[in-house]
Amino acid sequence: MEKRGSPDGDPARSLEQGPEGLEGPETPIQVVLRVRPMSAAELRRGEQSALHCSGTRTLQVSPPGGGPDVAFRFGAVLDGARSQEDVFRACGVRRLGELALRGFSCTVFTFGQTGSGKTYTLTGPPPQVRRAQGEGVPVPPNLAGIMQRTFAWLLDRVQHLGAPVTLRASYLEIYNEQVRDLLSLGSARPLPVRWNKTRGFYVEQLRVVEFGSLGALMELLQMGLSRRRSSAHTLNQASSRSHALLTLYISRQTMPPADPGEPPVGGKLCFVDLAGSEKVAATGSRGELMLEANSINRSLLALGHCISLLLDPQRRQSHIPFRDSKLTKLLADSLGGRGLTLMVACVSPSAQCLPETLSTLRYASRAQRVTTRPQAPKSPVAKQPPRLEIEMLQLQEENRCLRAQLGQIDPKASRLSGARVAWAQRNLYGMLQEFMLENERLRKEKSQLQSSQARARDEQRLLAQQVHELERRLLCACYGPQPRPGPAPPCPCVMVPAAPCPVMSPKAPGDMPLCAQPPPWAPPGNPGSAKCPRERSHSDWTQTRVLAEMLMEEEVVPSAPPLPMGTPNTPPVLRGEEEREGGGAAVPNLARRLEALRDQIGSSLRRGRGQAPPSEAARSPSRVLPPC
């Protein structure tokens, strides 16, 4: 039969193929068939076998009285000659165990007619009771069933995982439509089956026992088996009269934990031993036995009905009556939900049982077309509320902008410590905190840089004003008040209006601005400046000297180097950059201009006193007033 889920129809393998497997691909229920050997009683009665295996996956059924054989194909077909160990190895329960360790919810259940070997396959032959002590004798190891073998395998596997694992178990039975706790400390009373959105169907107040060793788990199994209802009837001396569910809960902490608060990965492995369907007439059940048989049949009927509906693609989308019985409620996740399921169909080979055997085979064939969508628990990061993710993205964006802005001003600031980034990458909350701290730091640095930039600009403006004022005062001292465009502070040196100097006239030909005119202290290259034709009055010189002496006492000591003078649109340049790039000429220029002004005033004073000016050779070129 064609199987879905993976190319070779192996659901466990398809789940192990990668992350997309964890998203819940459609995975069929895995079905294997076990044919028990003919019992001594059947052989005594001379019953014939109607079944024979063809290869490892096909069963041929020969109808009594001739007719063509009917073939059924399953994941594996195990005949009566196969040992318990063979069944354990071939049925694929270890793959389910692996998936349970990874957080999947897995179920193994046996299904078939009463006396077909369901309980034997799961837990071996019924435990012998030593009459003297009233104790159960453990099943011999070679006859131990799938459950005991899986327990041993799982505990061994857990030991080699290298990660802490917590193991717990619960064990219940559904008897006459009542759930009873097989591990309860007191008398077993019926427990309610409830439903909620996160857990689905669950049994309230069920005792879940933590265990740490194979021995402890075996004791729990023994306790449950001895409490389970069984009766003798014609088809089976120890016929189970209830459906029994033993569940292992596996809480595994991944190593190393991505987050200290990360919840453990929780998987489940549930073993279900169904009570067998039976024809009441054939088993000869009366009274209580008949009541039990009817309720067993009713719940198995509900199970069959659910399976039929699950197979119908149209009805599957609508309502599946899992609520019709306790059994279907508790198997709902295994059959149609997010779990992984393995069904071990058990049949008797006897031709006398053929109608029930055919019914079981048809049932099992249909079951392997039922699919589930297995899902492992999502990682904690994926569970973060979307609000946090949005907030994180916004902070990341703000952080990026701030870094870019700061990088323009101070390239060193854009570097981040690798260790901090690594820490931040560990989790979403960590990253949020890290971004907030980082943003805060960047904001502070940016505002500090902006305020120091503003301070530097103020100082520059002040210095430029002082220089300008000095120049103006010098001109006033030399030539009397000059007409100035726009409002200007009154010139402190206006005493006697001086006749305009033909050379220095503000109305010079070409209307050159005043500052562009050759100044009176221009170097000798300017012949006109060497001997100014105009004679100054005594009062001129007196005022000039007083003013110049006053000005020479002024000290201009900037607290911070000013920014270069530029057009108003020129972007601000940092001190360091200005010096590196040779843009720091403005400050020395201003200083030189101040000094040249002082020199010029000094020489004017000396001339006024009749002293010879210092020789040209003594003048440093730097003393020439730089251009405005």
Residues that bind Mg ion (CB under 5 A): 118-119, 240
Q: Which of ligand ADP, Mg ion, none is residue 506 near (CB under 5 to 8 Å by kind)? A: none
CA dist., res. 602 & res. 605, Å (int): 5
For ligand ADP, the closer of residues 16 and 86 by Cβ is 86
Query: What's the one-letter identity of residue 13?
Result: R
Residue 18 and residue 329 in contact, taking contact as beta carbons nearer than 8 Å? no
For ligand ADP, the closer of residues 170 and 360 by Cβ is 360
Residue 275 CB, nearest approach to Mg ion (Å): 7
Residue 241 CB, nearest approach to Mg ion (Å): 9
Residue 191 and residue 181 in contact, taking contact as beta carbons nearer than 8 Å? yes
CA dist., res. 266 & res. 100, Å (int): 8
For ligand ADP, the closer of residues 232 and 628 by Cβ is 232
Among the listed residues 344, 298, 283, 287, the one whose alpha carbon sits nearest the alpha carbon of residue 92: 344
For Mg ion, the closer of residues 284 and 513 by Cβ is 284
Among the listed residues 478, 500, 494, 507, the one whose alpha carbon sits nearest the alpha carbon of residue 608: 478
Q: Which of ligand ADP, Mg ion, none is residue 267 near (CB under 5 to 8 Å by kind)? A: none
Q: Which residues of the shown chain bind ligand ADP in the complex (CB under 6 A)?
A: 36-37, 39, 112, 114-120, 125, 236, 238-240, 276, 346
Residue 273 CB, nearest approach to Mg ion (Å): 6
CA dist., res. 567 & res. 193, Å (int): 84
Residue 144 CB, nearest approach to ligand ADP (Å): 13
CA dist., res. 475 & res. 505, Å (int): 12
CA dist., res. 151 & res. 494, Å (int): 113
Residue 39 CB, nearest approach to ligand ADP (Å): 6
Q: What are phi and psi of 256, to 5 degrees?
A: -75, 150
Name the token pair of 269. 């492995």
For ligand ADP, the closer of residues 14 and 114 by Cβ is 114
Among the listed residues 554, 533, 555, 551, the one whose alpha carbon sits nearest the alpha carbon of residue 602: 551
Residue 117 CB, nearest approach to ligand ADP (Å): 3
For Mg ion, the closer of residues 50 and 225 by Cβ is 225
Residue 34 and residue 345 in contact, taking contact as beta carbons nearer than 8 Å? yes
- Whether the upstream peptide bond of residue 28 has omega within 30° of 0, thus cis, is no
Q: Which of Mg ion, ligand ADP, none is residue 116 near (CB under 5 to 8 Å by kind)? A: ligand ADP
Residue 117 CB, nearest approach to Mg ion (Å): 8
Q: Which of ligand ADP, Mg ion, none is residue 350 near (CB under 5 to 8 Å by kind)? A: none
Residue nearest to ligand ADP (CB): 117
Q: Which of Mg ion, ligand ADP, none is residue 120 near (CB under 5 to 8 Å by kind)? A: ligand ADP
Residue 115 CB, nearest approach to ligand ADP (Å): 5
Residue 221 CB, nearest approach to Mg ion (Å): 15
Among the listed residues 226, 230, 172, 168, the one whose alpha carbon sits nearest the alpha carbon of residue 201: 172
Among the listed residues 468, 454, 497, 493, the one whose alpha carbon sits nearest the alpha carbon of residue 593: 468
Residue 497 and residue 480 in contact, taking contact as beta carbons nearer than 8 Å? yes
For ligand ADP, the closer of residues 127 and 528 by Cβ is 127
Task: Specify whether the backbone of 403 is left (phi greater than 0), alpha (psi in -120 to 50) or beta.
Answer: alpha
Kindly tell me the burial class for residue 394, based on how many C-beta atoms sit within 10 Å of its own C-beta (0-12, 13-18, 19 or more): exposed
Residue 327 CB, nearest approach to ligand ADP (Å): 15
For Mg ion, the closer of residues 278 and 540 by Cβ is 278
Among the listed residues 219, 174, 537, the one whose alpha carbon sits nearest the alpha carbon of residue 328: 174
For ligand ADP, the closer of residues 39 and 453 by Cβ is 39
Q: Which of Mg ion, ligand ADP, none is residue 97 near (CB under 5 to 8 Å by kind)? A: none
Residue 121 CB, nearest approach to ligand ADP (Å): 7
For ligand ADP, the closer of residues 276 and 519 by Cβ is 276
For ligand ADP, the closer of residues 62 and 234 by Cβ is 234
Q: Which residues does 280 contact at the CB level (< 8 Å), separation at least 6?
A: 290, 293, 294
Name the token pair of 607. 């001339």
Residue 296 CB, nearest approach to ligand ADP (Å): 11
CA dist., res. 364 & res. 111, Å (int): 8
Query: What's the one-letter identity of residue 345?
Result: A
For ligand ADP, the closer of residues 231 and 253 by Cβ is 231
Rg (CA), the chain: 50
